Amino acid sequence: MKKIISAFCLTAISLFVNPSAFAQEDKKDQIAKVITDYFFLERENIHVHFDKNVFMTDESAWFKGYVFHRKKNAPFFNTVNIYATLMDDQGKMISTQLIYGNMGSFSGNFKLGNQLKSGKYYVQFYTNWMNNFTEDESAVYEISVINQSTGVGNILAKADPSKINIEFRPEGGTLVYDTPNSIGISISDCNHNPLPITVVDIVDSTGKNIKKVQINKLGYGKFDLLANSITGYKAVVTIEDIKHEQPLPLAQPKGIALEVNNYAVAGKTIVKIRANKSTLDSFTGKSIYMVAHQDDKMTVFEIKFNDQNLEQTVVIPNSELAEGMNTIRILDTDMNELAERMIYKYPEPGLNVSLTQGKQTGDELQYNGKINYPNMNMSISVLPESTISFEETNDIYSSLLILPYLENQKKTSGKYYFESPSKVKQYELDLFLVNQKSKYKWRDILKNPPKSTYSFDMGLTLKGTIPSTLGNVNNAKVRVYSLTSSIDEIADINVKREFYFENMVIADSSYVNFTLLKKGAKPKEITVIPQLLNSKRRLNKPYQPQPRCYAPQGNNIIQQIPNIYKENIQLEEIKIEGSTLKYANSFGNGNLVSYKISDEKANMYQNLTNFIKAYSNFEIIDRNGLFIIQTRGANSINAAKSGPIVYIDNVQALGQVTDSVSGLDYSNVLNPIQMHEVDEIYMSSTAIVPSIRNYVGIIKIYLKKDRKPIIKNSTPQIIMKNGYERIKPFTNITYNSTTDKGFENFGVVDWQPTIMTDENGNFKLSIPKIYRKPIKVLIEGFSADGKLISEIKILDTVK
């Protein structure tokens, strides 16, 4: 017999906020408290957009990351310290970086190199906070690397056709004897990629075919089975004339079988709960509980079986479910889990992008972009249309909305399911989820709630100790100063002669000075041995790559690789001094006046402030050592002057406010820089800079990488190692040809990690004219309130 129950008729508790306390009055409250306690701590999800997924060893792997707040469904603005580890296919660490997160996003690159052999590599992104959890909350991405000297190898080889995976997942997790069961099935190759199979046969122990199961193009299917055979069943499929068989799991004498449908009836999720007679006898007169939850957002129902009802149907309004991933669990009165199933409540239609061709220049293609949402933070990769170096299963939808909830590191295309929502796509997503397990195990939720043992790092902590040779330091302070990281801070000294600077943003290999400040005494530069206490964090769940299998060498795919320009070492020795601007093509520099600083200019002007006075159109005020830079003319209704925004090695340098009329004093930033330290300068006194400070004008200063700062006394400047990785502007490798097959396979046209739309969703896109065939433009990003976008555009560059 069946019994249909509306969720409105059940006793239910709905919790879409964190309850402050739960009285132990009934089981529903106990269940709610257990789940709330387990998901009380905030969790971060990370998505990373790579410029592509197959790299030559001469290249860098460029990336842009997005950090998502699980509870708020918005960017995780507080995440600052992100770690990235590059490892080989054995899980051996090759290099690790500390990356600076800013307002929910980060960017960087891994420089590869000829020491790497052709093969699969993995990049794991994580935070120290993730160490608090039983589950692995990190994000792992597979990339392929080709060493040009040895060739492609087997990284693009087909999987061994003689080895496939046939996996079963009964809905609810248990195949129950003498009960109608809904069973998911997945077919994949030995590397867990889908196979072009359309039908699988289910046969009994005698070989009789009892069911034909349709398999979709992603390798998933589902079928119903009354499991009443004690000898079992098996799946049979033939691929390339090889017959493969896999037994189904044996039916269990007791258990709960589920069948969930949240796509057939609009606005409703239908849950069928089935039990055999043996199971039902143990439930007679007792309640079972159904909980649907996304982290600590939950709805709990109490359900009573009687000896006449082998199946009950519960109808849940989708308004009772959280948007996105939900896990349905069936629990008994002793809080044991009887069944589990994941479902997805579809979001509203996503965002879309339009690109229209704008004004063309001699070396760039200009496009006007429009998104149906304001203030998006995006990254854009541009590849040849026929590229084979792009992985379609990696997108921001899957990384932030689906994969964080699944057991093991998976691959799936969220864009496929969400780009054009329909009932067919909802069914296919549900088919995928039938075949998955939740990462969050009930046994851990019940007994092992996480604790905040590991800190949520926001910046670096610098520790130092004052040498005993400096005498009494009671009530003294320490000043730390760094031009290269724009740092000027003061800290107290404790009774142990220690000082701490917290929440510091220090770039790797920055020069720093320490000064002892004592009342009534002249400031004294000192030598200390500082430590960055939290710059090297390890994840307590390091990723272990799964072994891969390949077809015999004769069946491997051989692909042509790009013809990359190699500089001649002898010619490099005779380049003309000052003839080449290194940063002329960096973002935003094209419209600025550029200066290469030769030895002659360095000797003539000595310090940077003198040079800016001589070469810029800014109004300079030198007031008793203060160096105030203003734009000529009034720029606001109260006649206040505006000054330029100043960057040193692409990091904004902050001036000091003098007063509302004079503007900013840049002496603390510019006076310490000597001209012999400067490589190039880019300036404009008329450039408009969107900001709350109403900046007008730009000064960009690039320092020499091998400079040795002038030491004015015997105190050495100290280099701080293990700081944040410096953000480098994208530079493409030089191709001998962009018309050959190698470039079409693996070349990069452009990578732009930071594209911001305005309040109307408009943006500009400039693409270099290096490829005269259709291009594939990959756009990903999110808004300040958590709206996601992932879209691919094909553009004809010839028009």
pLDDT by residue (tens digit) across 126-168? 999 999 999 999 999 999 999 988 888 888 888 988 899 999 9
pLDDT at 350 over 50: yes
Q: Say which range, 55-64, 180-189, 194-203, 591-600, has the weakest mean pLDDT.
A: 591-600
Encode pLDDT of 497-539 as tens digits.
999 999 999 999 888 999 999 988 999 999 999 999 999 999 9
Query: Contact at 8 Å (CB) between 291 and 38?
Result: no
Choose between 553 and 209: higher pLDDT. 209
Query: Contact at 8 Å (CB) between 64 and 105?
Result: yes
pLDDT at residue 799, rounded to an integer: 60
Q: What CA–CA distance (Å, rounded) separates 56 from 487?
A: 37
In angstroms, the Cα distances linking 451 to 21, 43, 125, 454 are 18, 12, 21, 8
pLDDT at residue 554, rounded to an integer: 52
Instruction: Over range 567-595, report the average pLDDT.
Output: 61
Instruction: Over range 350-377, report the average pLDDT.
Output: 89
pLDDT at residue 713, rounded to an integer: 46
Highest average pLDDT, of 422-426, 428-432, 634-638, comes from 428-432
pLDDT at 4 over 90: no
How do beta strands 139-146 and 220-226 pair? unpaired
pLDDT at residue 655, rounded to an integer: 60
Give pTM, 2 decimals: 0.81
The pLDDT confidence band at residue 321, using thresholds 50, 70 and 90, is very high
**Residues above pLDDT 70, as percent of the chain:** 87
pLDDT at 22 over 90: no
In angstroms, the Cα distances linking 387 to 52, 275, 441 are 9, 52, 40
107: which 2 tokens?
């960017």
In degrees rounded to 5, what are phi and psi of residue 425? -65, -40
pLDDT at residue 689, rounded to an integer: 67
Q: What CA–CA distance (Å, rounded) separates 752 from 460?
A: 28
Q: Say which range, 338-352, 549-563, 718-732, has the weakest mean pLDDT.
A: 549-563
Q: What count of other Cβ atoms lies within 10 Å of the Cβ of residue 105? A: 24
Q: What CA–CA distance (Å, rounded) separates 62 from 381?
A: 10
How do beta strands 750-756 and 376-384 pair? antiparallel
The pLDDT confidence band at residue 307, using thresholds 50, 70 and 90, is low
Query: Contact at 8 Å (CB) between 756 and 375?
Result: yes
Domains of the chain: residue spans and CATH = 460-532 (2.60.40), 569-720 (2.170.130.10)
105: which 2 tokens?
């996003």
Q: Which among 106, 107, 82, 77 is positioned nearest to 96, based on CA atoms?
A: 82
Which DSSP state fits 242? E
How do beta strands 311-317 and 2-6 pair? parallel
Q: Which amino acid is at 712?
A: K
Encode pLDDT of 673-700 as tens digits.
888 889 999 988 877 665 545 677 888 9
pLDDT at 120 over 60: yes
Average pLDDT, the chain: 86
Q: Say which range, 83-87, 148-152, 423-427, 567-571, has the weakest mean pLDDT.
A: 567-571
pLDDT at 370 over 90: yes
Q: Which among 528, 428, 438 is positioned nearest to 478, based on CA atoms?
A: 528
pLDDT at 731 over 60: yes
Instruction: Over range 177-199, report the average pLDDT.
Output: 93
Strand order in the sheet with 762-768: 353-357, 364-371, 762-768
